[in-house]
Amino acid sequence: MRTVLLSCLLLMLANTSFAKVIDFEDLAHYLPGTGLLIEDTRPVTDDYMGFVWSGDKTGDPLAGNPPCASGEAFLWMEGTGSTYLYAAEFSMANEARPFRIVSLMIGSYFFEDQVVFASGSSNGGVRYQQTFLIEDAMHLTRHQLDFQNIGQFALWAGSGVPTHDFLEDFPHTLGIDNIEYELSEPVPEPSTLLILGSGLAGLAGLIRKYRR
């Protein structure tokens, strides 16, 4: 009985997930040998933070990875760090390990009352959909999502009101930073848990024996 209980406890611990934040700062581009930021844009690297990234909301691999802006490669939006995601749409996926999107920081460059769509899906089926509004341009704000047990997260820009008339035909590019997420830990095989539980139970028995 104790072996079964220990195995169940180990299974629960193995499936525990912990909140992390993707801030893209480790993708910042510095002048070699210095702490000086190089102002440029470059794609998010493959398998960054354990996810498959796409510059398309559907996850189309032909779209390539979404770009990050480093330094003042574009316009420095209030609330961003030195590096942030710069895209009108993107998706991040990990179908092998379900994850949770808790929140993110997001802002619009040229449009006020900017509509933004977010979705969370699993095994090809949409589980979550949310629409929210970015009222002010050039300022990052935090948005709570709480999309749980998904395999893919997507975000894309809708319509907005241009801050100036000449910006009407500009792309609705978003600044995205500090994506808070939880990625589930891989669960060991039941046989492995049983062996480990048996070993712990045996160890506990030996300790009790030698204490007598």
Q: What pLDDT score was predicted for residue 8?
A: 46
**Three-state secondary-structure class, residue 25:** helix
Residue-wise pLDDT tens digits, 198-211 = 555 555 555 565 56
Q: What is the pTM of this model?
A: 0.79
Output the CA–CA distances (angstroms, integers) from residue 22 to 38, 92, 105, 123, 145, in the order listed.
20, 12, 11, 24, 15
pLDDT surpasses 70 at 188: no
Q: Which fold has domain 19-184?
A: Jelly Rolls (2.60.120)
Residue-wise pLDDT tens digits, 65-101 = 999 998 877 777 877 888 999 999 999 999 999 999 9
CB atoms within 10 A of CB 73: 18
Q: What pLDDT score was predicted for residue 186?
A: 59
Q: Domain residues of the chain, as ranges?
A: 1-16+189-212, 19-184
Average pLDDT of every residue of the chain: 85
